[in-house]
Amino acid sequence: MMRGGTIVDATLISAPSSTKNEKKERDPEMHQTKKGNGWHFGMKCPVGVDAGSGYVHSLETTVANVHDITMVPQLVREDDEVLYGDSGYIGIEKREEVKSLPHMSTMEYRINRRHKSVQRMPEGFIDWEKQIERRKSSVRSRVEHPFLIVKRFFGFARTVYRGLAKNTHRLHSLFASANLLMCVRSGRSLRPA
């Protein structure tokens, strides 16, 4: 049912940074990272989404200061032939853990380039590079829908529990529920054929 490559992305989930609790400390299993110009304290949730259906098929959780690219081997399925990702995944095919896996070394990587690296064409010419990047972005945008459902619809923009283990269990159930919600919204039957 779920075939067509994998789209990988990660989202930050904030944790309370307050020290007004019994132990007078922040959650020791959470860390902080810089995204854009702001600092965020919490955890990161990298997911693998099927490029054809948009359903989440794999999920990991890490502390916030772990780079997204390190979690990709755990998010890719054995039968995937294509991997989509944003510009944070540039150079993934050159990493040692990817080269060492026979399945991942033969995959096709469709990673969006950074905006500044795409050259602009003069007036009157067709900008093929921009159109190619737009096509990759249109497929890659499917990974954002489960994040929207979990964070806004189910209200899990901040961690509820202390520690990664309890929050990981909650994320597994929330992303499974997001898959069911997307299935119902698309008009698909929940009964197996």
Top-confidence residue, 69 or 191: 69
- The pair phi, psi for residue 21, each rounded to 5°, is -140, -175
Average per-residue pLDDT in the chain?
A: 85
Question: What is residue 178's predicted lDDT score, i.e. its pLDDT?
Answer: 95
pLDDT in tens, 32-63: 888 888 888 889 999 999 988 889 999 999 99
Top-confidence residue, 126 or 28: 28
Q: How far is residue 10's CA from residue 68's CA, in Å, rounded to a whole number?
A: 6
> Sign (positive/negative) of CA torsion 80, 51, 147, 86?
positive
Please tell me which of 31-35, 113-117, 166-170 the model is most confident about, judged by mean pLDDT: 166-170
Question: What is residue 1's predicted lDDT score, i.e. its pLDDT?
Answer: 45
Q: How far is residue 176's CA from residue 134's CA, in Å, rounded to a whole number?
A: 29
100: pLDDT strictly greater than 80: yes
Helices (H), the chain: 72-75, 96-99, 102-105, 128-140, 144-148, 164-185
Ordered domains of the chain (ranges, CATH): 6-115+129-174 (3.30.420)
16: pLDDT strictly greater than 90: no
Alpha carbons within 13 A on the beta-carbon side of 109: 23
Q: Which amino acid is at 177?
A: S
177: pLDDT strictly greater than 80: yes
Beta bridge partners of 8: 48
For the residues 60-72, what does the mean pLDDT come to? Answer: 90
Question: What is residue 149's predicted lDDT score, i.e. its pLDDT?
Answer: 95
